[in-house]
């Protein structure tokens, strides 16, 4: 059974690029050789800073899309394995959320 991966690369400019693949080594080599995504081609070299393994590519792709929506700080917390920071950064901090939370708090 083939495995699938979600990975995070750190680009030369410090930005994170998140992707998914069924062949992690091949895909990283593509990125490093300028044959990967357009973004990584412009910001070489890249370094693998994190990856997760899945049984199916659709699971890896779903996780990729989830992580892509995260802030730089939240991605850093994931990379560092800082579960407390991940939790704190996951809490919605917009005004409507806090008003709702305060109104329903007992």
pLDDT of residue 105: 57
Residues 73, 99: Cα–Cα separation, whole Å: 25
Residue-range domains of the chain with CATH = 1-69 (3.40.1440.10), 72-106 (no CATH)
pLDDT in tens, 24-66: 999 999 999 999 899 999 999 999 999 999 999 999 999 999 9
End-to-end CA distance of the chain: 50
pLDDT in tens, 45-54: 999 999 999 9
Contact 5, 51 (CB under 8 A): yes
Please give the model's pTM, rounded to 2 decimal places.
0.85
Higher pLDDT, 95 or 20: 20
Q: What is the DSSP string of the chain?
A: ---EEEEEEEETTS-EEEEEES-HHHHHHHHHTT-S-HHHHHT--EEEEEEEEESSHHHHHHHHHHHHTS-HHHHHHHHHT-HHHHHHHHS--SHHHHHHHHHH--
pLDDT of residue 31: 95
pLDDT of residue 25: 96
pLDDT of residue 63: 97
Residues 46, 64: Cα–Cα separation, whole Å: 17
The average pLDDT across 78-89 equals: 92
């Amino acid at each position: 059974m083939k495995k699938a991966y979600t990975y995070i690369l750190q680009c030369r400019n410090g930005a994170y690029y998140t992707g998914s693949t069924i062949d992690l080594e091949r895909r990283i080599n593509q990125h490093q050789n300028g044959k990967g995504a357009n973004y990584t081609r412009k910001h070489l070299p890249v370094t693998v800073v994190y990856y997760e393994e899945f049984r199916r590519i659709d699971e890896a792709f779903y996780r990729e899309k989830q992580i892509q929506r995260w802030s730089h700080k939240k991605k850093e917390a994931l990379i560092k394995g800082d579960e407390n920071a991940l939790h704190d950064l996951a809490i919605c901090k917009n005004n409507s959320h806090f008003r709702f939370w305060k109104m329903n708090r007992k």
